[in-house]
Structure 1
Amino acid sequence: MSAPSESPSRRSETTWPRTAGTRRRTLDDLTFTRAPSDESDFQNQHFVQTIDGAGAEGRSTRLPWPGVQLHHHGRPDDVIIGSETSPVVCFAVRGHLHLTSPIRAFVPGPDWGIAVPAGAECAGMALGGSRFRRHLALSIEIPIDYARRAAKDVRDGCSFTQVIAPDSDAEQHAATFSYGKELRCALARFVHALDSEEDRRVLAPLYFEEITHLVYRLPVGRRAMINSINVRKEDDPIHRAVRYMRSNLTDSIGVTDLAREVSLSQSAFSHLFRSSTGTTPYQYLKNVRLDTAKTMLVNEPSMAVADVAQAVGYHNPSHFISEFKRKYRVTPREFARISR
């Protein structure tokens, strides 16, 4: 004899089977969640929960650390990112950002962010939030002192001289970037450390320093910090010396000329330059000349090597070719050919 069928009321109380990696319908908030299927999913979920738990109700919350702000929006809303004095990095945690002024940029969602150099300000819209799942973005202002320390500590194959050198061709506006697990975990540790006074005093500074270094390793983050440092160094003697080098590449420039330009003695200037850039004025000038020559060969590959040498201050083409090959492992003509 077959078993009696379930009554309609009994059937409605039956729970849905749930396994790892499958979607579960939550009737209380009408959202879909996904059970973590591996360590990476768990870390992502923990990161979002940590950031989400830091904010109160409203459009934005200033966390108990200078320049750190959590944006949380339950609907499309205006957002402004930037600072007059420091670079700002904004990390999308849930939802996305559409910036419209002064540039148009799109931060597509989690694991993406935008870096804004000092003196710039970006306005746009925070999108992707609802009353059940708020848009989340974490905005961090990086003090110039932290940026300088990161620039000195993090090399990543990038000469520290780039920190001091003002690059007229570098982008001075905001730019987007993607970030991974290492930075995501550092952000979660930092925000969690802000919960207690003791952790905020002892651990938070360490985690903030870690975040600064990880951001500096990103090309976009490095550029935002370098540009911000340079904005604050207009009257710095090293900054002025580098500008003089770039403006007078065709001339024969010596240490005496540079020291005179910044009103320092030759010995004081040489010591200050080396301690600031990690190299001598002569070596720095040579790198500027060769880097400029490389750019000229890329932009004008048909230009005669002798003309390129003359334009960057080498009056002996053979010496220029020798120095170029020593640095880039190819001759100027070979470099121009492979760059086409």
Structure 2
Amino acid sequence: MKLKLLLGAILFMFSYCVYGQLLDINSKYRGEPFFMSVDMHQLQQDCARNEDEYNQLDKKEKIKYDSRCPLNNLKFDFKRLDKLIDEDPIAYNGNDFQLKLSISPINPKNQNEEDLPNLGRDITLSLISKNQVIDKLFLANNSFSNNPNLWNGYQHYYIAPSGDIYTLLSIKSEPIEDESGTFPTLWKHYNVDTSNMRFVLKEMQINMPEATYQIIYPNQFNTKFHEGAVEYGLTLEESIALFDQSSKDGSSDYSLASRVYHYYQDQLKEKVNQLDNKKQQQDSFTALKQNINKTCLATPAPIHESDIELYLHKVLTCLIEQDRQAIKHAEDELGS
């Protein structure tokens, strides 16, 4: 815990040095500092619950078991937000701009889909300058599936005086194969760009069953595979063929695309290293990779849980296409 607080302090001082302006955020609306830095996979492990074990515990033991999950120990009372916003929605009131919170009920596009939320509310943060809304940010929510046995989701946040904004979307599911709990899914780090009067997405983490995907804008895309993740069950050749076929059909499967992407990344690195040796030049793979990432990370970021798989599929498909083109170019130069 002390290490986490120290890390938070370092991040705060770094942001202050970079952006040079502190915002006097109303303490009632700041949120929970825990969300400044989140180890997504570790948090998932801490918040997962084995139903067989849990059902054998007495009341006191269950309380102790639940306390393992930091999301159950938040100091900021998010339940009071609605009332506070109704009383006074201004989180920051500066000379040049204001930050205003607003509440809206969730209204899904398709009421017939059981896995889409139809109950709950969204909280939006608006950047206002000269009485005009310049930019908006989806800040927090709670949502519930039409089917109460499926899931409900929560997005929490923290607004730092440095102008950095952190959000975490978590999904609380009913037991599946004797496991339940709250699963952190989407973490984002924004900054209030006071020069251009907009919210800028700086970093994002997406936690999926097989891996955590980390995006640092504008040009970093990293994958951290989870130990013990279930394999896809196909050979590499079958995966590539199925990916190509699904692309033609217009279907999407991000987990399949992920495996294919990492194969082509390895191939590209090998070809570029051969080309560097041939030309007797310094490593050029890193710069090439960053240029490719920048192109593909222009894909609009996901907002809701239902956006995530399609987002990953689009980004990974773009990366695969770019890698294939770069490999062909390197092979042409190598004469292979």
| Structure 1 length-normalised TM | 0.25
Q: Which has the higher strand share?
A: 2
TM-score (norm 2): 0.26
